[in-house]
Structure 1
Amino acid sequence: MTTDTTEPAAREKDASPGAEQPQGATRSERLTSLAQQHGALVALLVMVLVASLSFDSFLTGDNLENMAVSSAFLAVVALGMTFVIITGGIDLSVGYVFALGGVLAAWGSQYGTLVALILPLAVCGLIGLVNGLLIARARLAPFIVTLAAMLLARGVLLSVTDEGSTTYLVDKDAFFARLGQEKLLGIGLPVWITVALFGLGALVLRRSRFGQYVYAVGGNEDAAALMGAPVARTKIAVYTLSGLCAGLAGALNAAWLMSGVTILGTGMELEAISAVVIGGTLLTGGFGFISGSLVGVLLLKVIQNVINQIGSLDSAYQQVVSGAFLALVVIAQTWLGRRRRML
């Protein structure tokens, strides 16, 4: 009994992004841990350096601003996904939940900013809550539950938009539109909102009891229950958070585009999962950190931007390169994880 309760606690400490290496750790152990945590950051810096030397327009203000704003919406979705994956789960519904949030925000903007924000958060948060209840209480597989939620969100989206034939517009003079159009210190408000959310998310994951529960559940669910961690409530909370993040990202995107575009969000769940995994979070759960997910998002966007800069390659190459890069990251993570256990 003692062994079961001690092992996940130790794993939780090792998994924490800010955790120090145990005293007596060998140089090989430290290097392996650093590679697992910061490999994506090194790849991002290399890509930025290569892109800046290869394309004169890459480091221009307009290009950097466009990358930052477009990254913000995916980053908010990836933030919620990070909590889910650290618990060992998955959320396939966020793409259509994102699109639904944008449509509801655009429709609600005619009744004021408060409705434009509360409506998508309430509906999308409810979808996440139902996902969490079915997964935690009914013990259904996250893959099946969130796949069903994806179809549900798509059905509601088509119903609200008359099978996609209706596009709701945001009045350019509405205060809600300012959330997507205004700038602070030359940087769009969606970027500042995203940075604030990631700072809050990192604080919660690293410094709060809830964050420790998230790591513990992902590390060893049975042992976490023996330690007294509220496993079911933790799972419900992370899926609700994922729904809220997707809905908020959709609302911010609607404010930026000044419309609720129904076709957006297709495949976003795969992009979010890719960004989280590329950032160093293990799909098996128990290990991950918020900053890594942000780096993963930026790396994907830089790759996409470089392909666009080349000009002779179509958008399909973005998916090919992103998929190949994700496969390499998963292989590297698996190898590094085995190496850590062997050391």
Structure 2
Amino acid sequence: MSAANTRHRGAGSQEAAGSQEGAGPAGRAPRNRTADRAGPAGPGSGGIRAERLSALAQQHGALVALLLTVLIASLSFDSFAGAGNLENIAVSSAFLAIVALGMTFVIVSGGIDLSVGSVFALGGVLAAWGSRYGPVVALLLALSVCGTIGLINGLLIARARLAPFIVTLAAMLGARGLMLNITEEGTSTFLLAKDSVFAELGRGKLLGVGIPVWITLVLFVLGGLLLRRTRFGQHVYAVGGNEDAASLMGASVTRTKVSVYVLSGLLAGLAGALNAAWLASGVTILGQGMELEAISAVVIGGTLLSGGMGYVSGSLAGVLLLKVIQNVINQIGSLDSAYQQVVSGAFLIVVVVVQTWLGRRRKARLTSPG
């Protein structure tokens, strides 16, 4: 191996380690033995402490903001902490959370998926249409079509090397067009029998909690394990951090990229199917702007838009934070619903600024000779 290649591999390994710090399975900050020997008062110890604090702020910032918002809202509005209101927040958050879970994998890998809103709507319409043949057909139809859209996105991005923004934008338009074609330009709405088995997936309860909430929690546990505790998850982090370094370490960049887009399509289709079961119909106007909500929630949850670092738990906290803010604005009553978008946009700007600042500090520490 040439000296140039050796330097390339070393740099890539260093960047991959930095990108996974606090996020991946081996996400502990590397110990600075020289600083440890210098004692707690040494400059090295302060650098490690600052590194850990910045990592904690990035990973758990959304959760802290969520808890503070819930506390203030509970003290300000008598009806906010009621069981019915909290259940509405949880159920309405479940569908966006499932979409955001798939988006987390995509963004961590360094990509973006603008098609999830249209795929969500398409999945709901397909599931509602297929429910006349039973719940299995309804779910399989939505998952197979939406997963295929994700597969096409992944192949065009990974193999044809097209820009994710353009590919998924085209998929967004294509999925929306297919949905309108199925519903005759939106004039036909497929209804579900409210006492059907499939409708029970969206409207039923288990231990007093809506079934969609339980499904979401299970999916997030599995998604967290997949991203943090498996070789595939390590490859997702590595590809998002540096594709060349990921290739050198033996990761299949193409397979990883295709897989995350398939996963995003499947989860968006599943969320749409569950939403159709909850509403007992396949509503054609849903999903508009959902891709931006999902991206906002993921970024607010601590995932870097540039890829290489992200947290499944943070994405869930980001979704809940957005939904709680929307609920608080509704509780106020005197504010127009447009304020929801203003507040969400302000949150997103603040988070991106903080992420950029933390990322630059971390990069400066990693590349500093000392």
**TM norm. shorter chain > 0.5:** yes
Matches within 5 A, 1:171-182: 171-182=193-204
Tell me, in whole angstroms, the C-alpha distance in 2 between the residues paired with 1:231 and 1:119: 29
Tell me, in whole angstroms, the C-alpha distance in 2 between the residues paired with 1:173 and 1:99: 22
Matches within 5 A, 1:278-293: 278-293=300-315
- Show the counterpart of 2:13: 6
Question: What residue identity is the alignment partner of 2:90?
Answer: A
Tell me, in whole angstroms, the C-alpha distance in 1 between the residues paired with 2:15 and 2:233: 14
Q: Does residue 36 in structure 1 map to residue 36 in structure 2?
A: no
- Show the counterpart of 1:221: 243
Q: 3-state SS of the aligned residue for 2:201?
A: helix
Q: What do you get for the CA RMSD once the two structures are aligned?
A: 1.1
Tell me, in whole angstroms, the C-alpha distance in 1 between the residues paired with 2:12 and 2:302: 25
Deviation, structure 1 residue 20? 1.9
Contact 2:119-2:175 at 8 Å conserved across structures: yes
Tell me, in whole angstroms, the C-alpha distance in 2 between the residues paired with 1:12 and 1:270: 24
Tell me, in whole angstroms, the C-alpha distance in 2 between the residues paired with 1:218 and 1:9: 9
- Unaligned runs of 5+ residues in structure 2 are 33-46, 366-370
Tell me, in whole angstroms, the C-alpha distance in 1 between the residues paired with 2:11 and 2:236: 17
Deviations 1:160-188 (A, max 9, x none): 00000011001112110110111011000
Q: Does residue 92 in structure 1 map to residue 92 in structure 2?
A: no
Deviations 1:53-98 (A, max 9, x none): 1000000000000000000000000000000000110000000100
Matches within 5 A, 1:44-193: 44-193=66-215
Deviation, structure 1 residue 8? 4.0
**Closer/same/farther in 2, CA of residues 295 and 12 from structure 1, 3 Å limit:** same
Tell me, in whole angstroms, the C-alpha distance in 2 between the residues paired with 1:153 and 1:9: 35
Give the structure-2-normalised TM-score.
0.91
- Show the counterpart of 1:16: 23
Question: What residue identity is the alignment partner of 1:21?
Answer: A
Tell me, in whole angstroms, the C-alpha distance in 1 between the residues paired with 2:363 and 2:105: 24
Contact 2:189-2:283 at 8 Å conserved across structures: yes
Contact 1:113-1:176 at 8 Å conserved across structures: yes
Q: Which has the larger radius of gyration?
A: 2
- Show the counterpart of 1:255: 277
Q: Select between 23-32 and 35-44 the one with higher mean Cα deviation.
A: 23-32
Question: What residue identity is the alignment partner of 2:131?
Answer: S
Tell me, in whole angstroms, the C-alpha distance in 2 between the residues paired with 1:206 and 1:62: 34
Deviation, structure 1 residue 6? 2.3
Question: What residue identity is the alignment partner of 1:44?
Answer: L
Tell me, in whole angstroms, the C-alpha distance in 1 between the residues paired with 2:237 and 2:22: 7
Contact 2:20-2:308 at 8 Å conserved across structures: no
Tell me, in whole angstroms, the C-alpha distance in 1 between the residues paired with 2:59 and 2:136: 39
State the number of aligned residues: 343
Query: Please, which of 228, 236, 240 is the counterpart of residue 206 of structure 1?
Result: 228
Deviations 1:119-178 (A, max 9, x none): 000000000000000000000000000000000001101000000001100111211011
Deviation, structure 1 residue 31? 1.0
Tell me, in whole angstroms, the C-alpha distance in 2 between the residues paired with 1:36 and 1:4: 24
Contact 2:180-2:186 at 8 Å conserved across structures: yes
Tell me, in whole angstroms, the C-alpha distance in 1 between the residues paired with 2:152 and 2:87: 36
Tell me, in whole angstroms, the C-alpha distance in 2 between the residues paired with 1:122 and 1:114: 12
Instruction: Indicate the percent of aligned positions where both proteins have the same amino acid.
Output: 73
- Show the counterpart of 1:320: 342
Deviation, structure 1 residue 342? 2.5
Contact 1:95-1:265 at 8 Å conserved across structures: yes
Contact 1:96-1:265 at 8 Å conserved across structures: yes
Contact 1:8-1:216 at 8 Å conserved across structures: no
Tell me, in whole angstroms, the C-alpha distance in 1 between the residues paired with 2:240 and 2:12: 14
Tell me, in whole angstroms, the C-alpha distance in 2 between the residues paired with 1:164 and 1:45: 40
Tell me, in whole angstroms, the C-alpha distance in 2 between the residues paired with 1:206 and 1:217: 14
**Closer/same/farther in 2, CA of residues 294 and 231 from structure 1, 3 Å limit:** same
Give the structure-1-normalised TM-score.
0.98
